[in-house]
Every structure is written in C-alpha cells, then in structure tokens.
Amino acid sequence: MTDRQHLLVHGGTFVAVGDGGDISGVRGGGGSHSAPDGMFVRDARHLSRWQLTVDGAVPEALSPVTDGDTARCVLVPRGGRQEPPAHTLFREQAVADGSFVESLRITSNRPVPTTVRIAITADADFTDQFELRTDHRTYAKTGAVRSREVLDDGVEFSYQRGEWRSCTTVTSEPAPDGVEETGTGARRLVWALDLEPHGSAELSLRVAARPHGMPAPEVPLTPAAAKARLRALESEFAEGVPFPTGWPELAAACARGIADLAVLQVPATGPDGEELRVPAAGVPWFLTLLGRDALLTSLFALPYRPQLAAATLPALAAAQATEVGVGTVSQPGKIVHEVRHGELAHFGQVPYGRYYGSVDATPLFLVLLGAYVEQTGDTALARRLEPNARAAIGWMLDHGGLTSRGYLVYRADEGGLANQNWKDSPGAICSGDGSRPTGPVTAAGAQGYAYDALRRTAQLARTVWDDEVYAALLEQAAGDLRDRFQRDFWMADRAFPALALDGDGNHVDALASDAGHLLWSGLLDKEYGELVGRRLLEPDFFSGWGVRTVASGQPAYHPLSYHRGSVWPHDNALIALGLARYGLHDEARAVARGLVDAAGVAGHRLPEVLAGYGRGTHAEPVPYPHACVRESRSAAAPLALLTAVGGA
C-alpha cells in the first residue's frame, strides 16, 4: 500500500508524513510539484527518516492519519482474526517553527504483564530541496561531512560543508535505553517498556532543527502544546475580520483562508535589518518569499489584514536589485522573484538565493504600495520607500522596456525561467494552436500591472512626495501605454486581447484568462472591458468552478495542463475583482460562486490549482495532480471574492 502524504505546517517549517506517521525518505516523484516526505526548514530536509517499529516489525494503521492541525493515527501489530493485537499504539504529531513533536502511547490489550520493544529509526540527510526535485540534477558537495553524536536522551545529527553547518537534535522523555547504529547512517532509538495488564506507557519525542545561521528553536513539550500555539496564532490573526453573514460558505472559505495565512508566514528582513513575517508562496516546494505571490496575497488581504502588506513591502524593498547580475537576472530597481536560504543557493549552485526572473513583481510592488496608502492612510511607509519606488519605476522605464519598446518585455532565462509572468511554466505563453512565441515576449497581463503602477505611483508623487512634475510624467506614460496596448493587442476579429506579442510584435493569439487581469488593472476602455468580461463567462472559458487559464476548444487547451486549461483560484480572484470594477456584478458573483462551491468540497480550502474539467460533466472539481495544497494566493482568494461581491 502506498501512503498518502499529510502535511503539517507552521511558519518556515513543514513536515510530510505517511498514513502511519512515518517518514521514509522518499525523493518525491510523478511531477515537478510532487513532494518528498520529511521535515523541512529553510529549504533543507532536517529529518529524512522517522520510522516506528514494535517488537521489530512495522505496525499497520488501524486508523490512518487524517489531515488537521496535528497528525493522529492508531496503529496495531500486523496479524489476523485468530490473533487479535496484543497492544494498540496511539500516535500524535505536531509541528512548530523549527521543531516537530510526537506523543506515542502504547496500551496493552493483554490481561498479563507484557514487555514491548519500541524503536524509532531516525536520520537527517540535510538534502537541499532542489536536489529532491524530479529533474534528476546532481550537485557537487566537495568536503561535505555528516556526523552523529549520541546524547543522554537521544541523538544529534550534524552536517558541515565549509562554513555551512546545520544540525538536527532528537530527544525523548523517557530517555531511550539505547541508540543503535543501523549501517545506513541512521540511528535507532530503542525502549523496552514494561506494561501492566491492560496498562499504558507514553513516550514524548522532540525534534529540533537548527539550519545554518539560525538559533535553536523553542520546542513545545507536546503535540497539544504545539496545537495550542498554532490555534492562538490563527485566532489572533483572524480577530476582527468581518466574515459575511449572508453567505456562510464564503464565510467558511474566508475563515479557512485566514487560518492558512496565519501559518504560512515566514521570517524576512527589512531595509534596516528589522525582523518581519511575510506570506510564503506555498507548501511543499515554495515555503519561502516569492515576490509576485507575496504581493498578490497582500493585495487580496489588504482590506482585512493590512499588516501583510506592511511587512511584504519593506521585505521586498530590502531585496531590491541594485546592479546587473547575469545568473540572477537582476537589474537596478527590479523586485526579487524568489528568495532561498538553502545550501545550494548559499554556494551559488542554483541562482535562486536572490533570483529576479519576473517581469511583473516590480509593477505589482508599486501597485501594492499605492493601494496600501489608499487603504490605510499610512503615508509614512510611502515616504520611507520612496527611493525604492522611484527605482522600481526606473526599472520599468529602462531595463523593463517601457521606454525603448513601449511595453514591459522579458526574454527566456536559460538558467532559470523561460516565462517570467505569472504563467511561468514552459509553453504557458502560446498561440491558440499551442505554438510558442520566438524572441522577447510582451505578456498582456504585465502591461496592465504597469499601467496601474504608473497611475498609483503618480498619486503618491502628488500627495505624499510633493513632486507634481514626476506625477505628470507618470500619468502621461500611463495614458500612452493604454493607447498603445489597445491598438497593438486587440484582436478585432475575435473581440479579445492577445495573450502576448512575440519578438516581431505579432499576436500570440490564445484566448486566455490573463485578459481578466486587464480588467483588474483598468487598462481596457469600458466597451472593450465589458466585451472581455462577458466573454470570460462563456462555456469554453468558465468551467462552472472558475475561469480556465486557456479556453477549451483550442488545440492549446488541456484540462490537466498547469497553465493551459486549468483553473487557478488566485487568477479567478483577480478576474472577479476586475469584473466588479467594470460593473459586471452578475458575472463576478458567478465566478465567486464557482470558487466557493469548489472550496466547499475540500473543507472550504482552495488549492493552488484545479483541473479544467467542466462542472456539467463532473459533479465535483477534479484535482490538479501536483497542486500545492496550501498556497498563500489561494488562501487569500476568498478575501478578494468578499471584496468583489460582498456577502451576497
């Protein structure tokens, strides 16, 4: 039997266990988003084996792990009807920042005294997450040394490579009777537990991870304590959010999303070294700061939780590029796409320590800054980040291409991302027949973000920075961009904008959901906007659960493609906001209803992405095979729907 995987998440830490609570050390497989198991902190696997045996045998799950704040299961020795289990094991696990705790209770089912031998085989391979992906790349690690040290109450695993050092400490109460070698590098902690007739014994196990450069974590004593810490965090984060009373299903999706956002926050540093907590992109592969994701999450949550924006903006300002870097695709003023803390990033073996392969994070930074000031009236942050905002405008006009080419343009990065807009998978930007553009790409959605960024920054220049000349310059640039876009992108024969322009300025003509982002940004004239909004609700686009990334009926469409036919909640949240902006309130409600109904099937949680199959032939939404289960943009999407349609 193949275990399902169960994720426990808190801040920058997640643990993936199987149905019986074990970690086997698998790499992950079956796709770029299929996850390995283990305990991960700051891009490294700090626990790669955690396997329970009872009297030398692996027990079976009588009641397998169910998803929740803790992983709880009931285990028994393997056997048959003629030999009922001699004892039952009740296992509960939880995660906190940098730590993992387990409570194991063993209950005898016999009327006589019994001795049970319990063992936990543990290991920490400290593998970087990039080594666990399915592209089968290998990385040289010259001089790397792993070591193990037996402690009075457990064992410590350490890893060192040059100045890089990480460790994982496993301790227990009571202390193990012994710590055995296994011949594989793992260590086996063993206990001989004497049980009275129908009596019980308990073990408390704690795992503390200390990544390179980080202090030892504060480890909760029990899973119950970890759960209480998590619940307090969620409760504090949700306090005061006005959940709608007239639409209970939307209220439940908002509450679920708020709870997920509370735990999907990771540490970051501001321009003055201040400590911040920002939205991570998602679990399992992206529990880190991604510029675009954090910005959109903060925008969706802005009316309800402005502190996300107040942290995201300075964190991204601190990571803003100041020079040209070939491997990292950095250019002065550009906002970072991805920040990594792992070993491979530290030694420059992957470009993602600070990677700038995004055409849209920079304008979205300006959109969020303007929206934050408008929402909160807090002009102090806009004054503090004025140099960063001006540098971001400078990037858009200069390296971004607005001055020389009239648009924001990107080129494929051979060492990183081929596509650098939100649809960043290979082949995501395509014509209706599926063919890919050649040369530099001008993606439609990014032009909408640029237009909104210019307008909002002009408002800041006028009202906060007292620079009327600069404001007028940006407003003129925005107006010119809008005129150019409607001339160059509009496909008159299809009454719809092109997905992109290729290097020669020709239409990349797939009918795609990015057009809805143009409504959110306000780039289209009212007549064009209404045409686009109504078109997005026709059956080839709207699956009943949401708007497809690419309309069905085109050769490019595939319901199980990552960006060419799937349904993305955050994409649809932007579309709903755009529909409402253009007065298409019935259409906005239809999108919101589809998403809320999809969330209701999965405990009111929206995944990263759904398959594109229609509701008319599939009574429940079909999952996308390798979606992030918890993703910050999807968690915040119900809040955006609430903004777009209220509680109606």
pLDDT per position as a tens digit, 92-136: 999 999 999 999 999 999 999 999 999 999 999 999 999 998 667
- In this predicted structure, the answer to whether residue 77 has a pLDDT above a threshold of 50 is yes
Sorted by where each begins, the domain ranges of the chain are: 6-228, 240-647
Residues 6+ apart with CB under 8 A from 161: 141, 142, 143, 144, 145, 343, 347
> At 28, phi and psi to the nearest 5?
95, 155
Mean of pLDDT values over 212-238:
95
- In this predicted structure, the answer to whether residue 79 has a pLDDT above a threshold of 80 is no
Give residue-wise pLDDT tens across range 120-132: 999 999 999 999 9
Taking the C-alpha atoms of residue 297 and residue 292, their distance in angstroms, rounded to an integer, is 9
Q: Which of 50-59, 73-82, 572-581 is least confident?
A: 73-82
Taking the C-alpha atoms of residue 354 and residue 553, their distance in angstroms, rounded to an integer, is 40
β-bridge pairing 87-96 and 99-108: antiparallel
Number of neighbours of residue 96 by Cβ within 10 angstroms? 23
Return the pLDDT at 339: 97
Model confidence at 647, pLDDT cuts 50, 70, 90, reads confident
- In this predicted structure, the answer to whether residue 33 has a pLDDT above a threshold of 50 is no
Q: What's the alpha-carbon Rg for the chain, to the nearest Å?
A: 26
Model confidence at 204, pLDDT cuts 50, 70, 90, reads very high
β-bridge pairing 630-631 and 354-355: unpaired
3-state DSSP assignment of residue 368: helix
Beta bridge partners of 123: 49
Residue tagged 């275990």 (tokens):
3
Residues 6+ apart with CB under 8 A from 409: 359, 400, 401, 440, 441, 442
Instruction: Tell me how far CA of residue 582 lies from CA of 81, 348, 479, in angstroms.
Output: 66, 46, 18
Number of neighbours of residue 136 by Cβ within 10 angstroms? 7
Number of neighbours of residue 135 by Cβ within 10 angstroms? 7
Return the pLDDT at 648: 62
Q: Which of 25-34, 118-127, 137-146, 333-342 is least confident?
A: 25-34
3-state DSSP assignment of residue 294: helix
Mean of pLDDT values over 382-394:
98
Beta bridge partners of 88: 107
Residue tagged 């070939």 (tokens):
326
What mean pLDDT value characterizes the chain?
Answer: 95
Taking the C-alpha atoms of residue 35 and residue 25, their distance in angstroms, rounded to an integer, is 11
Residues 6+ apart with CB under 8 A from 232: none
- In this predicted structure, the answer to whether residue 476 has a pLDDT above a threshold of 60 is yes
Taking the C-alpha atoms of residue 447 and residue 480, their distance in angstroms, rounded to an integer, is 12
Taking the C-alpha atoms of residue 103 and residue 203, their distance in angstroms, rounded to an integer, is 6
Residues 6+ apart with CB under 8 A from 370: 453, 455, 456, 457, 459, 460
User: Would you state the structure tokens that stand for residue 637, as one six-digit string?
Assistant: 């999407």
Helix (H) or strand (E) run with residue 205 in it? strand 200-210
User: Would you state the structure tokens that stand for residue 22, as one six-digit string?
Assistant: 């074990």
Return the pLDDT at 30: 41
Nearest to 181 by CA among 158, 150, 144: 150
Return the pLDDT at 3: 63
Instruction: Tell me how far CA of residue 414 lies from CA of 256, 345, 443, 594, in angstroms.
Output: 39, 17, 18, 38
What is the pTM (predicted TM-score) of this model?
0.95
Write down the CATH superfamily of domain 6-228: Glycoside hydrolase, family 65, N-terminal domain (2.70.98.40)
- In this predicted structure, the answer to whether residue 632 has a pLDDT above a threshold of 70 is yes
Return the pLDDT at 36: 83
Size (the chain), residues: 648
> At 609, phi and psi to the nearest 5?
-155, 150
3-state DSSP assignment of residue 117: strand
Return the pLDDT at 505: 97
- In this predicted structure, the answer to whether residue 34 has a pLDDT above a threshold of 70 is no
**DSSP category for residue 46:** E
- In this predicted structure, the answer to whether residue 475 has a pLDDT above a threshold of 50 is yes
Helix (H) or strand (E) run with residue 642 in it? helix 632-645
Q: Does CATH number 1.10.3720.10 belong to domain 240-647? A: no
Write the DSSP assignment of 256-280 as a string of letters.
HHHHHHHHSEEEEE-TTS-EEEEE-
